[in-house]
Amino acid sequence: MPEPQSIDPSHIPHHVAIIMDGNGRWAKQQNRPRLYGHKVGVESVQEIVESAMELGVDVLTLYAFSTENWKRPEDEVGGLMGLLKNYLQKELSRMLKNRIRLTCIGDIQKLPADVRQVLEQAMSETAQNDKFILNLALSYGGRAELIQAIRGIAREVASGALTASEIDEELIDNHLYTAELPDPDLLIRTGGEARLSNFLLWQASYAEIYFTDVMWPEFRKEAFTQAIIEYQGRERRFGRTSAQVESG
Ligand code: IPE
Ligand code: IPE
Ligand code: MG
151 Cβ neighbours under 8 A, 6+ residues apart:
none
Cα 85 to ligand 2 centre (Å): 20
Cα 161 to ligand 2 centre (Å): 38
In a domain, 243, yes or no: no
Which one of the ligands is nearest to 199 CA? 2
**Residue 82 — very low, low, confident or very high, per pLDDT cuts 50/70/90?**
very high
In a domain, 80, yes or no: yes
Would you say the CB of residue 217 lies under 6 angstroms from ligand 1?
A: no
Separation between Cα atoms, residue 88 and residue 121, nearest integer Å: 9
Name the catalytic one among 58, 69, 129, 183. 69
Look at ligand 2, atom 8, and give the residue with the nearest C-alpha. 21
Helices (H), the chain: 23-29, 34-55, 74-97, 113-125, 142-158, 169-175, 221-233, 242-246
Which residues contact ligand 2 via a Cβ below 6 A? Answer: 19-21, 63-66, 68-69, 193, 195, 197
In a domain, 226, yes or no: yes
In a domain, 1, yes or no: no
Cα 6 to ligand 2 centre (Å): 31
Cα 21 to ligand 3 centre (Å): 5
Return the pLDDT at 145: 98
**Residue 241 — very low, low, confident or very high, per pLDDT cuts 50/70/90?**
very high
CATH classification of the domain holding 74:
3.40.1180.10
241 Cβ neighbours under 8 A, 6+ residues apart:
none
Would you say the CB of residue 191 lies under 6 angstroms from ligand 1?
A: yes
Its pTM stands at 0.97
Task: Give Cα 98 to chain centroid, integer Å.
Answer: 19
111 Cβ neighbours under 8 A, 6+ residues apart:
81, 119, 138, 139
In a domain, 68, yes or no: yes
Return the pLDDT at 167: 98
Instruction: Kindly state the average pLDDT of the residues 214-219.
Output: 98
User: For the segment 83-139, what is each residue's pLDDT rounded down to a tens digit?
Assistant: 999 999 999 999 999 999 999 999 999 999 999 999 999 999 999 999 999 999 999
Cα 7 to ligand 3 centre (Å): 29
Count of domains for the chain: 1
User: For the segment 25-53, what is each residue's pLDDT rounded down to a tens digit?
Assistant: 999 999 999 999 999 999 999 999 999 99
User: For the segment 136-174, what is each residue's pLDDT rounded down to a tens digit?
Assistant: 999 999 999 999 999 999 999 999 999 999 999 999 999
Would you say the CB of residue 14 lies under 6 angstroms from ligand 1?
A: no
In a domain, 238, yes or no: no
Residue 76: name the closest of 24, 4, 136, 139 by CA. Answer: 24
Mean pLDDT for all residues in the chain? 97
Look at ligand 1, atom 1, and give the residue with the nearest C-alpha. 21
Would you say the CB of residue 141 lies under 6 angstroms from ligand 1?
A: no
- Do 103 and 135 form a contact (C-beta atoms < 8 A)? yes
In a domain, 145, yes or no: no
Catalytic status, residue 21:
yes
CB atoms closer than 10 angstroms to residue 75:
11
Name the catalytic one among 21, 23, 135, 185. 21
- State the residue range of the domain holding 27: 15-140+185-233
Instruction: Kindly state the average pLDDT of the residues 58-81.
Output: 98
- Do 7 and 228 form a contact (C-beta atoms < 8 A)? yes
In a domain, 59, yes or no: yes
